[in-house]
Amino acid sequence: MAKSNILLIYTGGTIGMVKDYASDSLKAFNFKKLLQRIPELNQLDCAIDSVSFKEPIDSSNMNTVHWVQIAEIIAENYDRYDGFVVLHGSDTMSYTASALSFMLENLSKPVIFTGSQLPIGDLRTDAKENLITSVQIAALTEKGKAVVQEVGLYFEYKLLRANRTTKINAEHFEAFQSMNYTPLVSSGVHLKVHKEALLPRKRQKKLKVHKSLDSNVGILKLFPGLGQNLLQSILSTPGLKGLVLETYGSGNAPTETWWTEMLKKATASGLKIVNVTQCAGGGVIPGQYETSVHLKKMKIINGGDITTEAAITKLMYLLGVGTSDKTFKSVFETSLRGEMS
């Protein structure tokens, strides 16, 4: 059987960082050196090529231009490779990976994001296992077709659907969680693929890459005491087109008149407001409590059990592709890439 061809795309992140002794902080370093540190990659039964960002970055510096760059690398190499592994800093990995899941329509090959909490050169690094298993998952085929045909995020023995993930720990190797969806693959003595959890295999449709993302969006996390001035200034941000409102519990928000009136005015003037819960698990159930009835009445978009990361990137994507005002709410409330239940 032919070997799988895998393309590694290195964007930066802790995995390839070294200590800069002048500033005593971690900085991205040359990718070639990174590969030399993992000779085990040569033992895998697949051919691995790599490309690197010219300037690898800490993922705190990620923006939509970088997302387009990653999408373009995948698009340009789509026919030549069987799978893609994107090395990325963990801090904003869930955002980038969620964005890519929307940008890559009709994806029928694996795009696996991974990184690490400790640099590859560190004795106790988690980078090797994350990278090696990600490559193995990207190379998995069945009857000549890729097993995983979606964007995933692999960290600490689990492949998760990328747009279901959130970084939940800055210390533990288990840095990501997918509270509302089960893992796609578990890695133990054997790699166990949970087939029923994967997005169904698609009939070969041509990959469509959406590069236009609208970043005129924002996130507002509610807290008791949030004042009128703050809400007012956020809603009157020049050019603002979409807002993710992180509400309490199952989608609840204050019912004071000024709150309701301001939100009503904003939605009436065309602002797309998405209700998501600030809880780690579960989702929005409009109207379950009296404190969400007003949001339901003013047709605020129900984010269901979507993560904030997926909600903000879905907003950028749907605004970017020019979704009409008439259909926006229903399109957003539909699961496009398995991002909501």
Residue 89 or 183: which CB sits closer to ligand ASP? 89
Task: Give the residue from 122, 126, 125, 62 showing the smallest Cα distance to 94.
Answer: 62
Residue 10 or 317: which CB sits closer to ligand ASP? 10
CB of 99 to ligand ASP, least distance (A): 15
Please choose, out of 55-63, 67-75, 185-193, 309-317, the segment that lies near ligand ASP by the rule CB under 6 A: 55-63
Distances (CA, A) of 103 to 117, 127, 208, 267, 312: 27, 27, 8, 26, 13
**Which one of residues 10, 34, 56, 58 is an interface residue with ligand ASP (CB under 6 A)?**
58
CB of 207 to ligand ASP, least distance (A): 27
How, if at all, do strands 242-247 and 272-277 pair? parallel
**115 contacts ligand ASP (rule: CB under 6 A):** yes
Distances (CA, A) of 64 to 61, 167, 208, 317, 334: 10, 19, 18, 11, 23
> How many CB atoms within 10 Å of residue 326?
8
**251 contacts ligand ASP (rule: CB under 6 A):** no
CB of 30 to ligand ASP, least distance (A): 16
**Which one of residues 4, 52, 64, 90 is an interface residue with ligand ASP (CB under 6 A)?**
90
CB of 93 to ligand ASP, least distance (A): 7
Burial of 280 (0-12, 13-18, 19+ CB in 10 A): exposed
Half-sphere exposure of 241 (CA within 13 A, CB side): 17
Alpha carbon distance 45, 98 (integer Å): 29
**Which one of residues 7, 35, 73, 91 is an interface residue with ligand ASP (CB under 6 A)?**
91
Could you say which of 11, 14, 125, 267 is catalytic?
14
Which two tokens mark 39? 């000779």
**309 contacts ligand ASP (rule: CB under 6 A):** no
Q: Which DSSP category does 42 fall into?
A: G
Residue 112 or 263: which CB sits closer to ligand ASP? 112
Which two tokens mark 79? 């026919």
**133 contacts ligand ASP (rule: CB under 6 A):** no
Which two tokens mark 329? 């709410």
CB of 58 to ligand ASP, least distance (A): 4
Residue 58 or 129: which CB sits closer to ligand ASP? 58
Residue 96 or 308: which CB sits closer to ligand ASP? 96
Phi first, then psi: give them for residue 102, nearest 5 degrees: -80, -35
**13 contacts ligand ASP (rule: CB under 6 A):** yes
Q: Does the annotation count 125 as an active-site position? A: no
**Which one of residues 98, 108, 117, 267 is an interface residue with ligand ASP (CB under 6 A)?**
117
User: 39-56 burial, b if ≥16 CB within 10 A, otherwise e?
Assistant: eebeeeebebebebbeeb
Which two tokens mark 45? 């039964």
Residue 81 or 113: which CB sits closer to ligand ASP? 113
**Which one of residues 56, 83, 89, 152 is an interface residue with ligand ASP (CB under 6 A)?**
89
Q: Which residue has the tokens 């990653």?
A: 70
Q: Which residue is nearest to ligand ASP (CB)?
A: 89
Q: Which residues are catalytic?
A: 14
In the complex, the residues that contact ligand ASP under the rule CB under 6 A are: 12-14, 58-60, 89-91, 115, 117
